[in-house]
Amino acid sequence: MKLAILSALAMTALHAQTIEVRGFSQLAPLQGDWKISAGDDPRFAAPEYDDSAWQTVRVPGAEIRLPLGLSWIRFHVYLPDQLPAEPLKLLLPPLSNAYDLFVNGTQVGSFGNLWVANGWGNRFPTSAAFDIPANSRQLTIAIRNRRSSRLRIQFTGTGAWIGTAEALAAKQHQNEFEVRWRSVGHLAIMSATAMAGLFFLILPVWRRDATDYFWCGCFLLVGNLSRVVAATPWMLDGLAVPPIDFCFYSLQALSLHSWERLFRHLLGVHLSIWARRCQQAILLLTITLSILSLVRLDWMVPFSGYFFSLVIIAQFLVYVDLARRSQPARETPLMHLAVALSLGGSFATAGLINPLVDRILPYGFEGPDFAMTVRGVGNLLFAGVMAAIMNRRSARLQREQQRLAQEMRAGAEMQELLLPDGSIQVPGFSTESAYLPMSEVGGDFYWARAEAGGGLIVVAGDVSGKGLKAAMMVSVVIGILRVEKSSSPGEILRTLNEGLTGHTNGGFVTCCCAHFDPDGRVTIANAGHPAPYADGREVEVEGGLPLGVMPGVVYDETVVSGQQFTFVSDGVVEAENAQRELFGFDRTREISGQPAQDIAYAARVWGQNDDITVMTVRRNG
């Protein structure tokens, strides 16, 4: 009596867990309780195995999340008495990368290769149809799975289907069409993002100042390539491609590097020491994982998901470190928005490959599709916001450059007014000058003054530095020279030194001053400037400390004679060609007897890299 009661209860429990197909014409859904268990045991395929302690999942209405590695799914089906005349087939939903199907303890088919080493090249989960035995109405369906991909497969559909080959083919075609239709949106977003990335990447070809566009394009294209690389084994339908993970890790490193370079350029600051060390540690880890991925160790399969999340965290820390150390600008709120869109989309996708992140994300029915859409839309919006940021920034910088250009032109006009004309008319002398600044304004200067008794004072010099700062110092020097009454070169240099000391802001001025007497004598004093040339030879003069370095300096004078004197700045002797060869003192000495314009032109053709100034003085008669 007790045995009968226990048998009845057991049959009742078995019936409650069995999916009963009450009838169908061609196709019927297998809706009910599915059992799931991690691990592997050949007994799991046997119909008599007791799976009551396994996890129960109600299909439809629940998500099936299989763990990495081997696991089993079991469910029981009871077919009606009236079956179609055609052979029946079983249509399984997307479950994992590879699995073997058992019906009543006998293997009837497989999807992918369950025993490929470490899951290399297994296929992307999709629906698949299998033949089932026609000699039994009680079916025990057992599926041995091996999930090796990084993506977490979530299935919430109507479960498996059973029916005729024709009906299942139509249903499978419908499922594939739905998958392709859902991918249209992803492909459209990726295409738009790739086009934006290519535009950003090639823009610096026409705009040399568009470095920020270049790094933004790199970041967008690397993100797209990462998604393509991750899907490559599935697109190749199971072909084993060992370097896939190597490319994945390498692209993550490039993504982090592009991210740091982009915002470092936009914010105008560098990473702090601790942030730099963290970034270097992650890049070193990436290189290590790239090399280990070629071996494909078992523990690396789940670790890749954690690494992707680590890269997202690193990007967030890099931006926070740069943003907190930069000065707020008009584009700062938009920049915060762009970062939130990009990192938010990446974090949404991280839930598909990192179980820890997945637990805190409120995904609904279409979890994977939703996550991929969020990331794609986030990257596309990131590109749009970054374009707006960089356009506003470029417009602001362009206005600033225009303002600076106007100031430089004004400085150049002022410098032209300060410096004498190319030739100075002095009885008994012929003077020529050539002035070729490196930019709009320069730091070289020359000046001449006719003496009442028929003599001539000539001054040539060079201010350290370049640009407006050097040009302003030139104006100070010319102003002092215009009020100087002495005819002694040493005294003139002493006066200049006293006037400039303490006002050069750490710089200095080199200068050579010469007094030409009507009787043929030339008195020269030098303050660190290249010595002049007389009749094709370098004049030996007493050297002196450059102007503005310290007060109280006495400048010695040297008396020489000659017919033609040539004064040059260091921009002549330091001109450098493409082979890194200097124009040098020897070449300067050889052409020192030529007109000033010819000497300056020769130095510029050789390779100008500084202001070039040449002044010649020839005695008449």
Q: What is the pLDDT of residues 552-605, one digit of tens each?
A: 899 999 999 999 999 999 999 999 998 889 999 999 999 999 999 999 999 999
Q: Is the alpha carbon torsion for 110, 112, 115, 119 positive or negative?
A: negative
pLDDT score, position 120 = 47
Does 320 or 465 have the greater pLDDT score?
Answer: 320
pLDDT score, position 61 = 65
> Looking at residues 78-102, what average pLDDT do you find?
81
pLDDT value at 117 more than 60: no
> How far apart, in Å, are the Cα atoms of 82 and each of 21, 79, 86, 132, 206?
11, 8, 12, 16, 75
Q: What is the pTM of this model?
A: 0.56
pLDDT score, position 393 = 77
Helices in 436-594 by DSSP H: which ranges? 467-483, 489-500, 570-573, 584-590
Tokens of 302: 């789940």
pLDDT score, position 418 = 57
pLDDT value at 515 more than 90: yes
Q: Which of 74, 14, 67, 16 is nearest to 43 (CA)?
A: 74
User: Do residues 509 and 549 lie in contact, with contact meaning Cβ atoms separated by under 8 Å?
Assistant: no
Q: Is the alpha carbon torsion for 598, 599, 600, 601 positive or negative?
A: positive
pLDDT value at 11 more than 50: no
User: Do residues 524 and 512 lie in contact, with contact meaning Cβ atoms separated by under 8 Å?
Assistant: yes
> Looking at residues 219-237, what average pLDDT do you find?
71
Min mean pLDDT across 181-195, 268-282, 412-426, 437-451 is at: 412-426
pLDDT value at 229 more than 80: no
pLDDT tens digits, residue range 241-273?
Answer: 556 677 777 888 888 899 999 999 888 888 889
Most confidently predicted of 23-32, 117-126, 260-269, 397-406: 260-269
CA distance 504 to 551: 12
pLDDT score, position 565 = 94
pLDDT score, position 489 = 93
What is the overall mean pLDDT for the chain?
80
pLDDT tens digits, residue range 526-543?
Answer: 999 999 999 989 999 988
Q: Is the alpha carbon torsion for 517, 521, 527, 528 positive or negative?
A: positive
> Looking at residues 159-171, what average pLDDT do you find?
81
pLDDT value at 322 more than 80: yes
CA distance 3 to 329: 83
Please state the domain extents for the chain: 17-174, 207-399, 426-619
Task: Kindly state the percentage of the chain with pLDDT values over 70.
Answer: 78
pLDDT score, position 174 = 77
One CATH from 3.60.40.10, 3.40.47.10, 2.60.40.1120, 3.40.50.2300 for 426-619: 3.60.40.10
pLDDT score, position 371 = 65
> Looking at residues 166-173, what average pLDDT do you find?
80
Task: Kindly state the percentage of the chain with pLDDT values over 90.
Answer: 23
pLDDT value at 7 more than 60: no
C-alpha neighbours within 13 Å on the C-beta side of residue 542: 13
pLDDT score, position 604 = 92
CATH class name, domain 17-174: mainly beta
Neighbours of 84 (CB within 10 A): 13
Q: Which of 534, 537, 535 is nearest to 514 (CA)?
A: 534
pLDDT score, position 137 = 78
> Looking at residues 367-393, what average pLDDT do you find?
78
